[in-house]
Amino acid sequence: MNDENDLERKNANYQFIKTLVSALKINNSFLFPFDSVKNISILNSPDNRFRIMSWHVMNQDGSYRFYGTIQLNSGGPLKMFPLEDYSPLLKNPEDSVTDNRKWYGAQYYKIIPVYAQKPYYVLLGWKGNTVKSTKKVLEILSFNNGDKPTFGMPVFDGNGKSRKRVIFEYTRQVSMLLRYVSDQNLIVFDHLAPPDKKMKDQPETFGPDLTYDGYKLKNGRWVYVENLDMRNIPSNSDAEYVDPKKQAAKDKSLIHSN
């Protein structure tokens, strides 16, 4: 994952995918946690219906490509949906409903089940982006009658429109808070703003301005709320998703110091 050679990273990734698929084909593999595989995110849905595995490989130009799969808890033969990162080709990602073959790739760190008329799950993800900016995403995952996954659903209401997913973009120099406060049914996040009004069309310059907004769950939909008072919101462990690049540098320095 951290090899300086682009080809080495990609070859290692394809080898890893082959190994993972053969491991998942073993009976009852859903019960196996793969907890020693550190570089990928593995999340079980709270209702244990499925798990989603996601990870990234950095491209030579500093952008990212994402990989993943959804494994259903089928109790029998493997039922799996590979996720194919289609991000560069999605023209309007906040308005798009897609399937696993046209996935808006991300590395997920939280699943929130919503038991609405049509049940769905909100996924919180880190998306990386370019050498200049980072993205995070609020994704919606639902399943049709044949258990096929669908991404995107118009459930985010605010600023006069409904979004099917929400994308945040900000400068790579900073971190952005995006987390779920379960006892308040609230997704809270940093309000992102440009350093100067002239840069309002340049999201790669945006950063947190020390105010917080959110989405509050109401009747199965998420309603935008501005200026949250963070003093009333407890902190929890998924407050900050660590940038894998920074984590890799930290790991390297630990290795050298030991």
C-alpha to C-alpha distance for 62 and 178, rounded to whole angstroms: 23
Residue where the block lists tokens 């659903």: 153
Sheet of strand 64-72: strand arrangement? 41-44, 50-58, 64-72, 80-84
Residue 244: the pLDDT is 58
Residue 227 — pLDDT band, cuts 50, 70, 90? very high
Rg (CA), the chain: 19
Nearest to 119 by CA among 99, 141, 137, 96: 141
Q: Determine whether 116 is exposed, middle or buried from the number of CB atoms within 10 Å of its CB (0-12, 13-18, 19+).
A: middle
Q: Is 212 left (phi over 0), alpha (psi -120 to 50) or beta?
A: beta
Q: How many CB atoms lie under 10 A from the CB of residue 171?
A: 18
Residue 75: the pLDDT is 83
C-alpha to C-alpha distance for 253 and 248, rounded to whole angstroms: 9
Q: How many CB atoms lie under 10 A from the CB of residue 2?
A: 14
Residue where the block lists tokens 């939909």: 221
Residue 1 — pLDDT band, cuts 50, 70, 90? confident
The pLDDT of residue 258 is above 80 = no
The pLDDT of residue 2 is above 90 = no
Span 16-23, mean pLDDT?
96
The type of residue at 154 is P
- State pTM to two decimals: 0.89
Residue 236 — pLDDT band, cuts 50, 70, 90? low
Q: What is the DSSP string of 237-256?
A: TTS-PPPHHHHHHHHHHHHH
